[in-house]
Structure 1
Amino acid sequence: MFHEWSMQLGQTPGGPGPQPEAEELWEREMEWLRASQEPLRLLPYAMVDKRFIRQMREPEDMEMTCWQQWQRRQQTMAHRLREAAWRLARGFGLWEGALYEIGGLFGSGIRSYFTFLRFLLLLNLLTVLLTANFVLVPLAWLHPPGPSPAPNFTLQCPRGHQPQTDVPRFHNRLWNVLTGRAFNNTYLFYGAYRAGPESSSAYSIRLAYLLCPLACLMLCFCGTLRRMVKGLPQRPGLGQAYRVPLSAKVFSSWDFCIHVREAATIKKHEISNEFKGYLEESHRLRGAQRETPAQRACRLLSYLRINVLMGLLVAGGISAIFWATKYSQDNKEEPLFLVLQYLPPGVISLVNFLGPMVFVFLVQLENYPPSTEVNLTLIWCVVLKLASLGMFSFSLGQTMLCIGRNKTSCEAYGYNACDYQCWENSVGEELYKLIIFNFLLTVAFAFLVSLPRRLLVERFSGRFWTWLDREEFLVPKNVLDIVAGQAVTWMGLFYCPLLPLFHSIFLFLTFYIKKYTLLRNCRASPRLFRASSSTFFFQLVLLLGLLLAAAPLGYVVSSTHSSWDCGLFSNYSAPWQVVQELVALRLPVPGQRVLHYLGSHAFSFPLLILLSLVLTVCVSQSQANARAIHVLRKQLVWQVQEKWHLVEELSRLLPEPGSSESPIPDSPHFRASRPRSFGPGFPSPGSPGPRPGPFHTDRP
């Protein structure tokens, strides 16, 4: 284009060529392109025009040397290699093809669950990598000492109470693997980690073991928060009620690069599901706008009734978990100990299995929108799951650490030393059993419940089998299952440093199990919802699980006495004491004074004032940005109106093609002679209907 125009500008004045106005516009465009520093790849021109622009930007009196030409070729080649590597990495991404297939067949809402599962797998792999690099590798390099000698104190236990030993009580190897007793002397549990005095080595294994879980939790928090903020609706310049026009979805949804029939089928299903979700949300929105005040009050009362009923169910569930855990820990010497080992995980799984089903049934009775139904069910499932884990942790703390009750065996040692000599290993075993039990339930439900149900429904016909039908893939229940498993994994970072490795394997297998269940045994939900309405909530639930795991860990590290005869902190009153010891041993006096000042009240008050100022500035900047966006939106509307006014004036003044006189503006001949459109998306002022603008709903 540019080359042709330049040839036309070089013609004789009498020959055909551009008009003076066009020549002036051409010169302005050339000056702007010559002075602009915008990268060529961002300019909306063809490759031939971009080469012409690059030649214009180069100085005329300077020729490129061979070295500069070689550098430019190397830069171009490096850029192409980076783009090719990025495309190759995306092509070999984990489960990209499976996620595309799931999203096309079942919608973006169900695909968001599998994307969330992949994100959790990456978090666990990162945690395993940090633990291996900062704890396991230095521990193997430094050759830890052998088992510590027996403690020089005698346990004063009541009659009938004998201290536990680490020797497995049962000789069944499979049972020892399922309960974790087979790994008591391995690096899976806290009791197998040992180290010499802090003054004998330059690298502190104790400090690394203590700070690694905290660093992992902080990294997981930052990654989850970043993903949650990234999933927020990015519509700061649009109104709250702005919706993407359906025409944009119709004309821009298809991918014209598809050449495979299977991919085209999946894409058609994906577009169909997107249209269904969009139309259903539009119908719900119009219905909500037509509600009367009485109908709105009835709807709020139904919300209140459902929430009160669900709250009572949650209270009953966590009470059952508390008593099951207490009974299991208080009856360790009973003949039914084999069954009591898995009584707390069994009760927790039963409550968390029946709870979401009852919640879904109660919510579906009120005929809520799909997104509201998913979010409301997810809220109460979150409350049930997190309350279950919290009550389970409190029950273990009450039994092993005597939290909330007085017990003679805890007064001298800070924990129940008579029943739990290495209480960290006992807690790790309970969390290990929870992870194992959850995965076994996933496998059992996939192949012993969902698969037989599908086979029976396909084989038999009748009213009952029609009513039963295939299983529907419930996103809230499945999300809460993996969030609960991840919360248990985070809770066990101190007691089971390698528990994320087991959980990573289970997540990897869970993806394929859930994919098989979804594609073979489940049916597509008739009520679709978009991923944008649930992904943010998934990340919020994960953050709540992380906070639930961090609270007990912080209490144990700072305030709980460690076991006397196992682990790295056997000689410390609390694990955090090793930080104080290292500060006193290896930090100079000025550094100690700085740390003492940072932990004092003299530093907390200026820090609080500084944080208040920063928060005030951020809020003020946010409000200023909101006002600026509002003003810019109004200016955009005014500019559109001004352009329409210019279009009207231009169409009134332009003569009819082929006529020497201008028709009367109000005559039918004038309206018929005007063009039907002025540009893409801008119909002629004389055409019927309102004049569209990008923000016509906010016209002043």
Structure 2
Amino acid sequence: RPSLRLYDLELDSTALQEEEKRVLLVKELQGLTGAQRDHMLRGMPLSLAEKRCLREETLTLRGKWRGQHGRRGRLSCYSRLRYACVLAGRDLGLGLLAGLQALAPWRYALKRIGGQFGSSVLSYFLFLKTLLAFNALLLLPLLAFIVGVQAAFPPWAEQRQGVSWEARGFGCRVSPSLLPGLCASPPMSSPPPGSVPHSMSRSFGESYRVGSTLGAHAITVFCSWDHKVTQKWASRLQHDNIRTHLKELLAEWQLRQGSRSVCGRLRQVAVLVAVWLLCLGITFGCTVAVYAFSELTIESPVSAEREGAQLALPLVVCLLNLGAPYLYRCLAALERHESPVLEVYVAICRNLILKMVILGILCYHWLGRRVGTLKDQCWENFVGQELYRLMVMDFLFTLLDTLFGELVWRLISEKQLKKGKPEFDIARNVLELIYGQTLTWLGVLFSPLLPAMQIIKLLLLFYVKKMSLMANCQAPRRPWLACHMSTVFISLLCFPSFLGAAIFLCYAVWQVKPSSLCGPFRTLDTMYEAGKVWVRRLEKAGPRVSWLPWIHRYLVENTFPIYLVSALLLAVIYLNIQVVKGQRKVICLLKEQISNEGEDKIFLINQLHSVYERKDRGRAGRTQEAAMPLNLLTGDQDTW
């Protein structure tokens, strides 16, 4: 009988071979650089845990090898110290980077929202994240060139004695360098002109890709899973993401297959016209109410001591902005759109018309009516205070609506209507963000730190909206793919909001006369003349700065460079459009070539099948012919 020890040794031979292979692999990895080692490990068909163990063993053995050779004299003490400092610095940098990423509010929340509620609700939080980046980009130059300069070089003492620069913002005294009413705000404190258009062009490039969505279902099924995921909660989250994405793709495909009769379409058009007329009537009523109340505040002015009465106009505006979208939502229930995407777009249009018309009335009230009535006061401070009050009131109403309004709406939907939790109103919430950002851009000339308030507001809104979404809302009953929603949001932020704020600020800089009692422009007819005064001072300064007045004269005041740059931009846009058209044509030709090659393969396969069938028939015929004489012989023998 063979010994059990020998039997165990024979069984362990494979394990010894695997261990030898592992040692050889570790030695081979030690001889490579870091990039080559990572590339080689990435290409190996091993699990993530095994790759991590191999990397740790390689680094550990390499450290021991370097320590042994350092003791032999090949690696000096200074080199080892420098190597340790480099490793410590790298670990510190990675730790700080990981800490900053952990502090970001969208670290894990966006994946959870996308997996549970779909891409439509996720687009709102992505848009909020984009607005945070815009305001951070806007705040940096304002802090550096306006607030920092005023803090380093405060106004003169005689100016402080002559005019009170403390502005009453929202029931408390605020320093002019912080909030409403800035005594040294130059006309160049407008939003960065290229940030929003650049983001819009980038969003268009990411959304409208060249190609089609054919085969997206198969790609999602077979190529969406990340095999590096090892934790259970991460795999469950990714599973929810893939499932929700498949639901959205299938819902979009079913929507394309559906159709409606002629009578149904006519009935739908009639309902749409009636609902649109009612919504426009509500918008017109809100506009008339804001205009009438603003005229009432002019006819019966409120003293500066009665700060509570100064909140009347912002209170009315916020109440109308809060109540009208709910009326739109109730009327939209009568339309019954087939496409949930179209339903969201229609709601966005209605809310956008309401917000922009109200802001237009307010801008006319500030620059068209109030400037003439505030002759003995600083109208710049008044406009800054009004925008500050509007921002604070809008934030408070948004918090109340989120914390209590959505809770009440959920209770009504669950208890009375028996429909379960309501859906997240994307149109209303997105237009609230656009409205708040427009207020920030309108007030950046008169209150430079409004972007800082907007950043704090957006951060708080992120957490509050996420909490309310998880508690009071459910996923859309009809899933839909929000493939272009981010582009639509950025477009609305660019054209009505950013363009309107730019027109408002340009009109205030070029046309409105500054206050004669306060501000750095009180001796000028317009704020724009400050640039001309600066150019005249540069001309008298000497020949060293003579090129600056030349630039202002021929590049700023002259309109020909503007037209030239516009023509170049149009030419670049035209060339990009032609390139995209060419790429689409090439893609169509390649698709036709692929289909032709597939048809050729099918034809060749059919030909091969026909050849094999003929050969099989020939063999069968020959076997039958060979069997015929044998049958005859057996028949003759039977007769004998």
Question: 1:56-71 to 2 correspondence within 5 Å?
Answer: none
The amino acid across from 2:180 in the alignment is F
SS in 2 for 1:496: coil
Q: Check conservation: 2:200, 2:487, Cα contact below 8 A.
A: no
The amino acid across from 1:585 in the alignment is R
State yes or no: 1:447 paired with 2:403: yes
State yes or no: 1:595 paired with 2:587: no
Residue in 1 aligned with 2:636? none
Out of 211, 220, 226, the residue aligned to residue 249 of structure 1 is 220
Residue in 2 aligned with 1:677? none
Aligned residues: 539
Question: 1:320-469 to 2 correspondence within 5 Å?
Answer: 320-333=289-302, 340-368=309-337, 369-402=339-372, 416-418=374-376, 421-451=377-407, 464=416, 466=418, 469=420
**Gap change, CA 1:357 and 1:431, over 3 Å in 2:** same
State yes or no: 1:547 paired with 2:499: yes
The amino acid across from 1:283 in the alignment is Q
**Gap change, CA 1:43 and 1:344, over 3 Å in 2:** farther
Residue in 2 aligned with 1:406? none
> What whole-Å deviation, never above 9, does each CA across 1:41-77 have from its counterpart, x for those lacking one?
99999469xxxxxxxxxxxxxxxxxxxxx9xx9xxx9
**Gap change, CA 1:142 and 1:448, over 3 Å in 2:** same
Q: Check conservation: 2:110, 2:125, Cα contact below 8 A.
A: yes
Out of 170, 187, 202, the residue aligned to residue 210 of structure 1 is 187
Residue in 1 aligned with 2:454? 503
State yes or no: 1:178 paired with 2:166: no
Question: 1:565-576 to 2 correspondence within 5 Å?
Answer: 565-576=517-528
> What whole-Å deviation, never above 9, does each CA across 1:457-489 have from its counterpart, x for those lacking one?
88xx6xx2635x544320111111111011001
Distance in 2 (CA, whole Å) between partners of 1:125 and 1:98 is 21
Out of 261, 278, 286, the residue aligned to residue 257 of structure 2 is 286
Distance in 2 (CA, whole Å) between partners of 1:584 and 1:335 is 40
Residue 401 of structure 1 and its aligned partner are, at CA, apart by: 1.9
**Gap change, CA 1:253 and 1:599, over 3 Å in 2:** closer
Residue in 2 aligned with 1:229? 204
Out of 586, 589, 593, the residue aligned to residue 638 of structure 1 is 593
Q: Check conservation: 1:108, 1:530, Cα contact below 8 A.
A: yes
The amino acid across from 1:277 in the alignment is E
Question: 1:12-23 to 2 correspondence within 5 Å?
Answer: none
In structure 1, runs of 5+ residues without a counterpart are 1-38, 49-69, 152-163, 169-175, 195-205, 403-408, 410-415, 656-661, 671-700
Q: Check conservation: 1:375, 1:534, Cα contact below 8 A.
A: no
Distance in 2 (CA, whole Å) between partners of 1:457 and 1:489 is 35
Out of 532, 535, 556, the residue aligned to residue 483 of structure 2 is 532
**Gap change, CA 1:86 and 1:638, over 3 Å in 2:** farther
Q: Check conservation: 2:207, 2:487, Cα contact below 8 A.
A: yes
**Gap change, CA 1:455 and 1:184, over 3 Å in 2:** same
Question: Given the two structures, how large is their TM-score scaled by the length of structure 2?
Answer: 0.73
Residue in 2 aligned with 1:189? 180
Q: Check conservation: 1:428, 1:496, Cα contact below 8 A.
A: yes
**Gap change, CA 1:636 and 1:515, over 3 Å in 2:** closer
Residue 583 of structure 1 and its aligned partner are, at CA, apart by: 0.9
Out of 107, 117, 122, the residue aligned to residue 111 of structure 1 is 122
**Gap change, CA 1:572 and 1:103, over 3 Å in 2:** same
**Gap change, CA 1:621 and 1:496, over 3 Å in 2:** closer
Distance in 1 (CA, whole Å) between partners of 2:618 and 2:351 is 68
Which moves more between the two structures, 509-518 or 441-450?
Answer: 441-450
SS in 2 for 1:218: coil
Residue 114 of structure 1 and its aligned partner are, at CA, apart by: 1.1
Which moves more between the two structures, 591-600 or 245-254?
Answer: 591-600
Residue 565 of structure 1 and its aligned partner are, at CA, apart by: 2.1
SS in 1 for 2:445: coil
Residue 293 of structure 1 and its aligned partner are, at CA, apart by: 5.8
The amino acid across from 1:229 in the alignment is F
Question: Given the two structures, how large is their TM-score scaled by the length of structure 1?
Answer: 0.67
Q: Check conservation: 2:294, 2:365, Cα contact below 8 A.
A: yes
**Gap change, CA 1:267 and 1:177, over 3 Å in 2:** same
- Identity across aligned pairs (percent)? 24
Residue in 1 aligned with 2:148? 137
SS in 2 for 1:328: helix
Distance in 2 (CA, whole Å) between partners of 1:484 and 1:93 is 24
> What whole-Å deviation, never above 9, does each CA across 1:487-518 have from its counterpart, x for those lacking one?
00110001111111112111111111111111
The amino acid across from 1:427 in the alignment is V
Distance in 1 (CA, whole Å) between partners of 2:37 and 2:340 is 46
Q: Check conservation: 2:110, 2:122, Cα contact below 8 A.
A: yes
SS in 1 for 2:613: coil
> What whole-Å deviation, never above 9, does each CA across 1:173-218 have from its counterpart, x for those lacking one?
xxx6634x51155532334x35xxxxxxxxxxx6xx332x23x331
Distance in 2 (CA, whole Å) between partners of 1:610 and 1:338 is 49
Which moves more between the two structures, 530-539 or 270-279?
Answer: 270-279
The amino acid across from 1:663 in the alignment is Y
**Gap change, CA 1:653 and 1:442, over 3 Å in 2:** closer
CA-based RMSD of the aligned residues comes to 4.1
Residue in 2 aligned with 1:558? 510
The amino acid across from 1:430 in the alignment is E
SS in 2 for 1:664: helix
Distance in 2 (CA, whole Å) between partners of 1:573 and 1:557 is 10
Residue 625 of structure 1 and its aligned partner are, at CA, apart by: 4.6
The amino acid across from 1:426 in the alignment is F
> What whole-Å deviation, never above 9, does each CA across 1:110-162 have from its counterpart, x for those lacking one?
111111112212222222221111122233233442241787xxxxxxxxxxx
User: Which structure: greater helix fraction?
Assistant: 2
Residue in 2 aligned with 1:34? none
Q: Tell which structure's C-alpha radius of gyration is larger.
A: 2
Distance in 2 (CA, whole Å) between partners of 1:669 and 1:477 is 77
Residue in 1 aligned with 2:574? 619
